[in-house]
Structure 1
Amino acid sequence: MADKSGSSAGTVGRVTAPASPNAVRNVVLVGHTGAGKTTLVESLLVATGTIPRAGRVEDGTTVSDYEDIEHRQHRSVALSLCPLEYEGVKINLLDTPGYADFVGDLRAGLRAADAALFVVSAADGVDGSTRMIWDECASIGMPRAIVITKLDQARADFDEMVLICRRVFGDPDSDTVLPLYLPLHGEDEGVAGLMGLLTQRVYDYSSGTRVSLDPDPEHLPLIEDARNRLIEAIIAESEDESLMDRYLSGERIDVDTLIGDLETAVARGSFHPVLAVAPGGLGTIELLEGIVRACPAPPEHEVLPVTTPDGKPRDPLTCDPEGPLAAEVIKTTSDPYVGRISLVRVFSGTLRPDMTVHVSGHGMADRGHEDHDLDERIGAMSVPLGKQQRSLNRGIAGDIVAIAKLTRAETGDTISDKDDPLLMEPWMMPDPLLPVAIRAHSKADEDKLSQSLARLVAEDPTLRLEHNTDTHQLVLWCMGEAHVEVLLDRLRSRYGVAVDAVAHRVSLRETFAEKASGRGRHVKQSGGHGQFAICEIDVEPLPGGSGFEFVDKVFGGSVPRNFIPSVEKGVRAQMDKGVAAGYPMVDLRVTLTDGKAHSVDSSDMAFQMAGALALREAAASTRIHLLEPVSEVRVTVSDEYVGGVLSDLSSRRGRVVGTEPIGSGRTLIRAEVPEIEISRYAIDLRSISHGTGQFARTYCRHDPMPPQLAAKVTADTQA
């Protein structure tokens, strides 16, 4: 266990810069929308004197709301850092959005933190998405604790909620989820205080301030039963193997020893304490004490693996302020007046203002993120609190700071010494699967759109920008409807760009349903040299994925050899334009069988025109198939929703190719589904599975579209 002592130096507002990594705690708050994360953060800031009253700093701005849309919708849509100080320890609270659309900010918070607080409403319980995040944290060994909020509401039941948390989060065969405090009810049946199980003290908040008291005699049996169970669970994780025997033999274990073993159990991820908070500050001091004494300090975690930018392995790093510089951009925001601000977690070394650093990026070309490897000079450093930035003179290993004027760095990039460039392993980010086609509202908006979208992409690694060459649409691939709303609001309010959402078009294809022949005649005479070209072709469909073949079977020189490539060029040009609904044609063999030329009036352009006309005539004499893209869809969902998902896939013309259990009460479903049927599947699956479903898709092939749908698409195109 790391030494938790640490002095502070360099006051920053009401928060001091840590003197060592051991005087830092990085904690991410996780929970569904409405669980009370932001309210809890504000209560902790008030309790430590960081802000004078809930939700406000000195200038009257809000603490953790950054955007106008958050005020309108009363929900967080972005990761925010709220630092505070307690008992000489700087606590970096990372408040994450609870809505699934903003999973990128959630992943950023998990990446930057050393422990997670799962915030659960006593009135609402645990939803499926929160359970999925718990499992994700478990897979990476993230230490976790649980905070139960809203104990003042009528439907709140602390004991029942603890049982639910034990069932959902814990190990059914052991006591891995237990409370550290029990609520003390007052005369009006409201929560008036807390009973500490380890300290055996009552903390009474009924007067508006925290008063420590001896428990009443009627409380002792309740405290004793819960305390014995808690102690046994804690010392089961102790490194002192004799401790359990000493406890069972009746020896009294001192509180400091128990707290030390509690920290060990939490750091290992094998025990998850439950705490409680309520309005009026009840439980905030107990929670702060729990964070400082039970959550691990940064040196207790291994630093993520690093390589050189070209992929060569490097020796493992430690959380040492004197070590090689290794930091990561976990959040990027842009302001039209202030410029770009990067929220950075320092894993090793020390950052200082105005130093020149190296910025390395993994690059995600498919999402519009360039791969870069360059030097930049950082600007001012600060501690953010709401919209305020409070000056800072350094950022040591283990701390999280804000840096101005990193003009090229993007979310997920590595910052290192310019003479010793490093690259940290990338973090897992889900694919955005909801397409939204947009266009500029006016010419003035069009001029500013490209630069504004580039800034959005730099800020948000879950956003993918696509310029579809088939449909000529500008498409934003997003995580869900709320994500779309926030992105469009940012374009409008932050960058002054108005856009209109238009119907998203899937990249269809056309092909011949059967063999056909066509004759192209391009003959014009308008004085001087005329235009003369005639060609005859046979067209036949090829198997899917075969592409295009052009065959020359001209005999006797009816089409001069130098004009045969011109015919092919004209055919290809017409294929690109399509012949029925304006979509490119694929999988054809075109055979040039005959034609005519003129010694003076024939030309390359004339035979190109004749080739295109011949293909159009052939198409007019036969049936044309519209081909739609089909994707392999892989859905993972809780077992109880498998039936609903299968039924929904069938309604989308999907063909299920297999299902298999993957453990933890979840099933993998594999199906082939036309892409036109799953444009909004990211939204619909969330509804069907109550937030527990996830899916990925991969393009398989193009298949013929049903005639009735093809006819509708063609009619809409020609309208």
Structure 2
Amino acid sequence: MIVANLGAKPLVVQLPVGAEDSFQGVVDLLKMKAVIWTGEELGAKFAYEDIPADLQEPAEEYRTQMIETIVELDDKAMENYLEGIEPDEETMKKLIRKGTISGSFVPVLCGSAFKNKGVQPLLDAVVDYLPSPIELPPMKGSDPENPETTIERLASDDEPFAGLAFKIMSDPFVGSLTFVRVYSGKLTAGSYVLNANKGKKERIGRLLEMHANSREDIKLALTGDIVALAGLKDTITGETLCDPEKPIVLERMDFPDPVIKVAIEPKTKADVDKMAIGLIKLAQEDPSFHFSRDEEINQTVIEGMGELHLEIIVDRLKREFKVEANVGAPQVNYRESISKVAEVQYVHKKQSGGQGQFADITVRFEPLEPGSGYEFKSEIKGGAVPKEYIPGVMKGLEECMSNGVLAGYPVVDVRAALVDGSYHDVDSSVLAFQLAARGAFREGMRKAGPKLLEPIMKVEVVTPEEHLGDVIGDLNSRRGQINSFSDKPGGLKVVDALVPLAEMFQYVSTLRGMTKGRASYTMQLAKFDVVPQHIQNQISSAKQEPVTA
């Protein structure tokens, strides 16, 4: 099974004694002893015994296979073995470690997680066979001031401190806990460290060593330790903490923008405040999860990377924060852009007694490369629009970028250039130019060939060969574009495709039904692409509201 389905070369180092509810322990093929767990101490007590008679012969056979595999890695051990001298236990451990690190084979051990049987030998095997941080190359990072400059840190207590915050967790007793892996140096309670990503100093209040659901205060963490820090204010997942004198950014994590959203509302008035607190804490833990309040429809909207992501968020609100909520149907986060250059002149003029409002601007809207976002530049010459009014134009345009003209989605990949204009000595103001920019945006976007963009997901489906045709046909019916096929051990086929997210809702249940539960899939955001015209018309007509200039 391991060879056929995973394409790996297994090295059997243990055999099970019994199976299922009669599982008692394992046979250690290096020591040629049986390790038996007794009593109901949840795996805490075990003893070495002679190998049961019915397992003696299989143990001898598998031990021979194990030795023949590992001695191939060492000429001297091979020579001795051919002369009839078996390697001792220490040599076998060294050879298994060598083969594991090089990827020549994969040690296979037995155990039962339910009764905690086999845990101690498994942990010993981790220590004996897997590489330690000292054996790995130095950790590479970049200079916060110059990201192109590479900095190396050895896994040593004598190096300057550097650690990566890899998880944020809310604790009902301690508050927010930041889990940090120390890659180099030492970290002491009460000291100050630098958040290299934000350039802010953080004070280490409490250092905690976590033991499952209990915790222990410690004063010092060394290289290789994983500790939880209580009370950090500005650090989120993926940020680097380091020595303020020797700054380094270990790993820059890019979190993609959410691609799916649902409306959520608490079932009772009592849940309103609890839901707000819960969402704030969950957003701190998970940078790919966002939430916002839509005042127009008076609903809270949560956004994430997929249906499952948001289902888990809602489940955690219920379990951890005791919030009962009603959840709406999922919606896709579309974007809007433009397809051609357009230049518009817009005059904002208002006179209602007293000082009036006047602003005259000419703005050119240009499409940019996908992923460029929004740019503003001023091409004003000769003071046609005074410098003090240009920020008003910038602000007016930026405010409109979150609400496009087609269906009210955020606008991306657009450059707005202020090319000309005029003003009035008395009636012109920053506010007047801000309002003029809004009007110019609405007119200019409509003239520039507005288009709707949808998230396209990179989908990888692993399926048995007999269901390949059904899977491909289904992906094609979802507006999918099949990119490639490949084989996987065990007669499985891998299909790589690009599919619009809007077509992927409830795909997991369709895929399981189509393949009798044997296929699986993963998907991640690949790009945003133009929506077909007939679908754009449907979305626009469903979302369009009259826009008043």
TM-score by length of 1: 0.53
After TM superposition, the structure 1 = structure 2 runs for residues 411-426 of structure 1, keeping only pairs within 5 Å, are 411-426=237-252
**Which residue in the other structure is 1:347 paired with?**
183
CA contact (8 A) 2:181 2:225 kept: yes
Deviation at 1:676, TM superposition (A): 3.8
Distance, in Å, in 1 between the alignment partners of 2:265 and 2:533 is 30
Kept after mapping to 2: 8 A contact 1:341/1:405: yes
CA distance in 1, matches of 2:174, 2:410: 46
Distance 2:410 2:161 in 1: 52
Question: Matched residue of 1:265: which SS?
Answer: helix
Of 251, 257, 264 in structure 1, the residue corresponding to residue 85 of structure 2 is 251
Structure 1 pair 693–377 and aligned structure 2 pair: CA distance change class (3 A): closer
Q: Distance in 1 between matches of 2:337 and 2:155?
A: 59
CA distance in 1, matches of 2:24, 2:115: 10
- For the structure 1 residues 227 and 685, does the alpha-carbon distance in structure 2 shift closer, same or farther, using more than 3 Å as the test? same
| 2:102 is equivalent to residue 268 of structure 1 | yes
1:460 corresponds, among 286, 302, 305, to 286
Q: Corresponding residue for 1:297?
A: 132
Distance in 2 separating the partners of 1:359 and 1:671 = 38
Q: Check the 8 A contact 1:468/1:474 in 2, yes or no.
A: yes
Match of 1:553 in 2: none
User: Distance between the aligned counterparts of 1:375 and 1:195, measured in 2?
Assistant: 53
**C-alpha distance 266-317 of structure 1, shift in aligned 2 (>3 A):** same
Matched, 1:636 2:468: no
| Residue 419 of structure 2: aligned partner | none
Q: CA shift at 1:206, angstroms?
A: 6.1
Query: For residue 79 of structure 1, what is the aligned residue in structure 2?
Result: none
Distance 1:585 1:198 in 2: 64
In 1, are the aligned partners of 2:139 and 2:154 still within 8 Å (CA)? no
Q: 1:283 aligns with which of 118, 123, 126?
A: 118
* Contact 2:34/2:49 (8 A) holds in 1: yes
Equivalent AA in structure 1 for residue 76 of structure 2 = S
Pairing 1:644-655 to 2, within 5 Å after superposition: 644-652=470-478, 654=479
- Residues 269 and 469 (structure 1 numbering): CA distance in 2 closer, same or farther, change over 3 Å? farther
> 1:422–1:711: structure 2 CA closer, same or farther, 3 Å change rule?
closer
Question: Quick one: which of 167, 171, 188 aligns to 2:4?
Answer: 167
Aligned to 1:696: 525
CA separation in 2, counterparts of 1:297 and 1:583?
49
Percentage of matched positions with identical amino acids: 26
Please tell me whether residue 184 in structure 1 is matched to residue 20 in structure 2.
no
Letter in 2 for 1:242: K
Deviation at 1:335, TM superposition (A): 3.6
Shift in Å at residue 178 of structure 1?
A: 2.3
> Contact 2:260–2:332 at 8 Å: present in 1 too?
no
Q: 1:628 to 1:246 in 2, by over 3 A?
A: same
Q: Tell me how far 1:478 sits from its aligned partner.
A: 2.9
- The residue type paired with residue 98 of structure 2 is T
SS in 2 for 1:260: helix
Change beyond 3 A, Cα 1:218–1:469: same
What is the aligned partner in structure 2 of residue 83 from structure 1? none
In structure 2, how many angstroms separate the alpha carbons of the residues matched to 1:166 and 1:223? Answer: 20
- Counterpart residue number, 2:33: 201
Count of paired positions: 459
Q: 1:393 is matched with which residue: 219, 230, 246?
A: 219
In the alignment, which of 263, 267, 275 is matched to residue 437 of structure 1? 263
Residue of structure 2 aligned with 1:330, choices 154, 166, 187:
166
User: Partners in 1 of 2:49 and 2:270 — Cα distance?
Assistant: 68
Query: Residues 31-78 of structure 1, C-alpha deviation per residue, up to 9 Å, x if partnerless?
Result: xxxxxxxxxxxxxxxxxxxxxxxxxxxxxxxxxxxxxxxxxxxxxxxx
For 1:89, the equivalent position in structure 2 comes to none
- Return the offset for 1:459: 0.8
Give the CA deviation at 1:468.
8.7
CA distance in 1, matches of 2:149, 2:311: 42
- Contact 1:185-1:193 at 8 Å conserved across structures: yes
Distance 1:713 1:244 in 2: 75
Quick one: structure 1 residues 341 and 304, their matched pair in 2 at CA, closer, same or farther if it must change by over 3 Å?
Answer: same
Alignment of 1:58-77 (within 5 A): none
Alpha-carbon offset, residue 437 of structure 1:
3.2
Counterpart-to-counterpart distance in 1, 2:30 and 2:454: 60
Q: Give the AA of the match of 1:344.
A: V
CA drift of 1:241 comes to 2.4
Specify every segment of 5 or more residues in structure 2 that has no aligned partner in the other structure, as ranges.
Answer: 339-352, 354-366, 370-395, 413-431
Residue 332 of structure 1: CA displacement?
A: 0.6
1:578 touches 1:584 (CA, 8 Å); kept in 2?
no
Report Cα offsets for 1:586-629 as digits up to 9, x if no partner.
9xxxxxxxxxxxxxxxxxx9xx9xxx9xx9xxx9xxxxx99754
Q: 2:361 matched to which residue of 1?
A: none
SS at match of 2:139: coil
Tell me which amino acid in the other structure corresponds to 1:273: P
Q: In 2 relative to 1, CA 214–379 (structure 1 residues): closer, same or farther, beyond 3 Å?
A: same
In structure 2, the CA distance between the partners of 1:190 and 1:644, relative to structure 1 (3 Å rule), is same
Structure 1 vs Structure 2 CA RMSD: 5.2
* Separation in 1, partners of 2:84, 2:234: 63
Q: How far apart are 1:508 and its partner, in Å?
A: 8.3
Going from structure 1 to structure 2, the CA distance change for 1:180 and 1:385 (only over 3 Å counts) comes to same
Q: How far, CA to CA, are the matches of 1:584 and 1:411 in structure 2? A: 26
Q: Distance in 1 between matches of 2:411 and 2:90?
A: 76
Indicate conservation of the 8 Å contact 1:470/1:507, yes or no: no
Alignment of 1:33-44 (within 5 A): none
Range with greater deviation from structure 2 (484-493 or 217-226): 484-493
**What residue number does 1:123 align with?**
none
**After superposition, where does 1:78-117 map in structure 2 within 5 Å?**
none
Q: Is the 8 A contact 2:238 2:251 kept in 1?
A: no
CA contact (8 A) 1:627 1:705 kept: no
Q: How does 1:567-582 map to 2 (within 5 A)?
A: none
Q: Report deviation, 1:668.
A: 5.1
State the partner residue of 1:487: 313
The 1:469/1:643 distance shift into structure 2, 3 A limit, reads farther
Deviations 1:160-201 (A, max 9, x none): xxxx22333343xxxx31221112349x99333422211122
3-state SS, counterpart of residue 235 of structure 1: helix
Superimposed CA distance per residue, residues 114-170 of structure 1 (whole angstroms, 9 cap, x where no aligned partner): xxxxxxxxxxxxxxxxxxxxxxxxxxxxxxxxxxxxxxxxxxxxxxxxxx2233334
Tell me: CA distance 1:276–1:577, structure 2 relative to 1, closer, same or farther (3 Å): closer
Structure-to-structure mapping, 1:98-137, within 5 angstroms: none
SS at match of 2:521: coil
Distance in 2 (CA, whole Å) between partners of 1:306 and 1:584 is 34
Give 1:643 deviation, angstroms.
3.2
Q: CA deviation at 1:299?
A: 1.7
Query: How far is the alpha carbon of 1:386 from its aligned partner?
Result: 3.5
Q: Is the 8 A contact 2:261 2:303 kept in 1?
A: yes
CA distance in 1, matches of 2:68, 2:286: 45
Structure 1: give runs of 5+ residues left out of the alignment: 1-163, 362-371, 512-527, 529-542, 546-568, 587-604, 620-624
Q: 1:713 aligns with which of 530, 542, 545?
A: 542
Letter in 2 for 1:659: N
Contact 1:334–1:455 (CA<8 Å) still a contact in 2?
yes
CA contact (8 A) 2:133 2:224 kept: yes
**For residue 253 of structure 1, what is the amino acid of its counterpart?**
P
Equivalence for 1:405: 231
Evaluate the alpha carbon distance shift between residue 189 and residue 704 of structure 1 in structure 2; reply closer, same or farther with a 3 A threshold.
closer
State yes or no: 1:379 paired with 2:205: yes
